[in-house]
Amino acid sequence: MIARQDEPDRREQAGRPGDRARPPVRRPDASMSLLADLFAGKHLDPGYAEAAARRAASGRAAPRPGRLRGAGVLLVLALTGALAAVAGVEVHRSEPVAAERHSELVGQIRARTAETDALQRRLVRLRADTERRRAAALARSAEGRRVRRDVAAAGAAAAATPVAGEGLVVTLDDAPRGAPAAPGHAADGGRVYDQDLQVLVNGLWAAGARAIGVNGQRLTPTTAIRAAGEAIMVDYRPLGGPYEVTALGDAGRLRAAFAGSPADRRLAALRDRFGIRYGTRRSGQVRLPAAGAVRLRYAVPREGDGG
């Protein structure tokens, strides 16, 4: 998996100081002051102002507002209050309906996720059974044993078989809630983004990892790590923090090669600046499952190849 390094960093994009001028600070009663000025006659239309000046020059007094005008103002205020009350009642009535629909959607999502997980577990069992039957069939001849070695090598390269051994485990998680934001940056800079996982995974591949998984999700050469709203998708499956990235390989060599790398320096800087939780540990025994089957979209068998 290769990260798109040309994408701008979301923290810098959202929080660069000086990118835009700050809006002027408004008085809390700014909207009411205009209304008060209009009633006081401080802001008059030019035509009204000219008529008032002519009346003042001729010595005639301005007509006083009658009772009809006062009744009209009271009527307008009463209608405005009634409309606001009706709108409030409608909003209050719609809240239970919205909450019920939200609860139904959450329930459907959890049910579909449970079904998908059950199907995935069944698929793993069927693959293991198929592998045992294939290995028993190929072990009956020398040619079959050679084919079995070739298939095992190709399966390991495509992440189609489970792997186990020692490795390095790297943990990433959002900053604790309530942590102060860095000066000049957005308040959500303490979140882990898909770009952070991309950089970490690429750094572990460069350090010599033989296999990598994120929260138990095995990565393949074509696995994508992308964002969908506030969720991070790994191979089109949403994952939540904390994000535990497991790299299979010699733990000592992996740690030595990864320490001080560009990925390690970036994540350490995010930890120091935004409070993101970042740490590494060695593990004597890690296990990664096989990845999902790759569906061919463009490759087709050639005619005349005999299968």
Q: Kindly report the CATH number assigned to the domain that includes residue 178.
A: 3.30.70.1880
Pair (181, 118) in one structural domain: no
d(CA 26, CA 29): 8
Residue 101 is predicted with a pLDDT of 83
Pair (173, 279) in one structural domain: yes
In what helix (H) or strand (E) does residue 230 lie, and over which residues does it extend? Answer: none
Residue 222 lies in a domain: yes
Residue 48 is predicted with a pLDDT of 60
d(CA 239, CA 87): 40
Pair (90, 112) in one structural domain: yes
Cis peptide before 289 (omega within 30 of 0): no
Pair (150, 173) in one structural domain: no
Look at residues 116, 137, 158 and tell me which one is the last residue of a structural domain: 158
Residue 66 lies in a domain: no
Pair (99, 202) in one structural domain: no
Domain that holds residue 177: 164-288
Output the CA angle 234-199-120, nearest 5 degrees: 15
d(CA 208, CA 206): 5
The number of folded domains in the chain is 2
Residue 294 lies in a domain: no
Is residue 191 within 8 A of residue 264, CB to CB? The reply is: no
Residue 297 is predicted with a pLDDT of 67
Residue 256 is predicted with a pLDDT of 94
Is residue 251 within 8 A of residue 86, CB to CB? The reply is: no
CA 131 to each of CA 17, 38, 101, 158, 229: distance values in angstroms, whole numbers, following the listed order: 58, 84, 45, 15, 39
Residue 194 is predicted with a pLDDT of 92
Residue 25 is predicted with a pLDDT of 45
Residue 197 is predicted with a pLDDT of 94
Please give the single-letter amino acid code of residue 272: D
Pair (118, 137) in one structural domain: yes
Residue 70 is predicted with a pLDDT of 65
Residue 216 is predicted with a pLDDT of 87
Look at residues 158, 190, 223 and tell me which one is the last residue of a structural domain: 158
pLDDT beneath 70, residues of the chain: 1-49, 51-52, 55, 58-70, 178-189, 292-299, 301, 304-307
Give Dmax (Cα) for the chain.
122
Pair (258, 173) in one structural domain: yes
Task: Identify the burial level of 9 via C-beta atoms within 10 angstroms of its C-beta, where 0-12 means exposed, 13-18 middle and 19 or more buried.
Answer: middle
Q: Please report how the helices 67-138 and 142-157 are oriented relative to each other, as an axis angle in degrees rounded to 10.
A: 160
Residue 242 lies in a domain: yes
Read off the tokens for 176: 């604790």
Pair (98, 205) in one structural domain: no
Pair (236, 190) in one structural domain: yes
Read off the tokens for 92: 């209050």
Pair (152, 174) in one structural domain: no
Pair (177, 273) in one structural domain: yes
φ, ψ (nearest 5 deg) of residue 149: -65, -40
Residue 54 lies in a domain: no
Residue 31 is predicted with a pLDDT of 47
d(CA 200, CA 225): 11
Residue 52 is predicted with a pLDDT of 67
Residue 24 is predicted with a pLDDT of 45
